[in-house]
Amino acid sequence: MAVITFTSDFGYADHYVAAVKARILTHDAQAQIVDISHAVEPYNIPQAEYVLGSVYHEFPLGTVHLVGVDTHGSKKVRYHAAFYKGHYFLMADNGLLSLLTDDKPDKVVEIATHGQVFSFPAKELLAPAAVFLAKGGDIEVLGETTADFRHLLNRQLRLNDHSITGHVIHVDQYGNLVTNITRESIDTISHGRTYTIHFGRETIAKILANYNQADEGDTCCIYNSLDQLCIGINKGNASEQLRLGFDSQIDVRFYPGG
């Protein structure tokens, strides 16, 4: 049986996470369930995309990823099962699928509800579907194949020979600011030139290997394990102290010479 991951905006104070897991285990007591996060802000699709998109590919092929973000019972809400790069995804039709797959899922099925309205779709609809797929079930049994799903756009970098403009795409538990500027984009534009990084009123001229290389309380930039440019404060909260957050603009400026 394949692994089932679970990501949601349910939080940890209520019974909702346990209820979904209980339904999965009721269908198969041997199910392997891995929690990715249940601290996604309510209805925050970009945050869900960052959290799940950063790690799903680390799991074995065939893993089923159940997403309980922005799920609610309504006849107007559709639910999809999708296959992409060897992984299965189950979620509401809220734009998350388009962000995770760059609008190019290999297969999408609208999960059949047979006219039923679910008060707790993650438990009543998605959990049984997750077990079915994890046991090797054919995704097309869950409903009708479709190419109709909601589309959202990720923030795109603006690049020219002298600058890169990006944005904060995630604020982590420590207040570190994760941007959509990558090591590859900086290396491609720099051609060995010097550069400075600008955000708020701050200017940084060097990217460190880790936050601990900065003096305690100092602002610094690093690349994370996904090679994304990050802004942090050693032993501090960059988001709070710099008053920056999701979608804040970050600029990298390049200068002539080495």
> In b/e form, how buried is each residue of 33-47, taking b as 16+ CB within 10 angstroms?
beebbbebeeeebbb
Q: What's the domain range around 33?
A: 4-145
Q: Is residue 26 part of a domain?
A: yes
Please tell me the least confidently modeled range out of 39-48, 68-77, 148-157, 204-213.
Answer: 68-77
Q: Which residue has the tokens 């102290």?
A: 241
Q: Based on the domain organization, do 39 and 135 belong to the same domain? A: yes
Please determine, for residue 74, whether its predicted confidence score (pLDDT) is greater than 80: no
Q: Is residue 152 part of a domain?
A: no
Q: Based on the domain organization, do 97 and 163 belong to the same domain? A: no
Q: What is the pTM of this model?
A: 0.87
Q: Based on the domain organization, do 26 and 71 belong to the same domain? A: yes
Q: Is residue 66 part of a domain?
A: yes
Tell me what the mean pLDDT of segment 143-162 comes to.
Answer: 91
Q: Based on the domain organization, do 139 and 169 belong to the same domain? A: no
Q: Based on the domain organization, do 104 and 217 belong to the same domain? A: no
Predicted pLDDT of residue 57:
96
Q: Based on the domain organization, do 170 and 139 belong to the same domain? A: no
Q: Based on the domain organization, do 204 and 82 belong to the same domain? A: no
Please determine, for residue 244, whether its predicted confidence score (pLDDT) is greater than 70: yes
Q: Based on the domain organization, do 232 and 133 belong to the same domain? A: no
For 87-144, write each residue's pLDDT tens digit: 999 999 999 999 999 889 999 999 999 888 899 999 999 999 999 999 999 999 999 9
Identify whether the C-beta of residue 49 lies closer than 8 Å to the C-beta of residue 99: yes
Q: Is residue 153 part of a domain?
A: no
Q: Is residue 151 part of a domain?
A: no
Q: Is residue 120 part of a domain?
A: yes
Determine how many CB atoms are found less than 10 A away from the CB of residue 237. Answer: 14
Q: Based on the domain organization, do 185 and 231 belong to the same domain? A: yes
Please determine, for residue 73, whether its predicted confidence score (pLDDT) is greater than 80: no
Q: How many domains does the chain have?
A: 2
Tell me what the mean pLDDT of segment 198-217 comes to.
Answer: 95
Q: Based on the domain organization, do 86 and 36 belong to the same domain? A: yes
Predicted pLDDT of residue 76:
79
- Distance between alpha carbon 220 and the CA centroid of its chain, in Å? 24
Please determine, for residue 145, whether its predicted confidence score (pLDDT) is greater than 80: yes
Tell me what the mean pLDDT of segment 176-190 comes to.
Answer: 95
CATH, residue 192: 2.40.30.90
Split at pLDDT 50, 70, 90, the class of 156 is: confident
Beta bridge mates, 168: 179
Q: Is residue 10 part of a domain?
A: yes
Domain boundary among 145, 169, 184: 145
Q: Based on the domain organization, do 13 and 94 belong to the same domain? A: yes
- The per-residue pLDDT of the chain, averaged, comes to 95
CATH, residue 42: 3.40.50.10790
Q: Is residue 150 part of a domain?
A: no
Predicted pLDDT of residue 117:
87
Tokens of 231: 């802004």
> In b/e form, how buried is each residue of 74-103, taking b as 16+ CB within 10 angstroms?
eeebbbbbbbbeebbbbbbbbbbbbbbbee
For 55-67, write each residue's pLDDT tens digit: 999 999 999 999 9
Predicted pLDDT of residue 153:
82
Tokens of 2: 């394949």
Domain boundary among 119, 145, 171: 145
Tell me what the mean pLDDT of segment 216-245 comes to.
Answer: 97
Please determine, for residue 253, whether its predicted confidence score (pLDDT) is greater than 70: yes
Q: Based on the domain organization, do 112 and 28 belong to the same domain? A: yes
For 209, phi and psi rounded to 5 degrees? -75, -35
Domain boundary among 91, 110, 145: 145
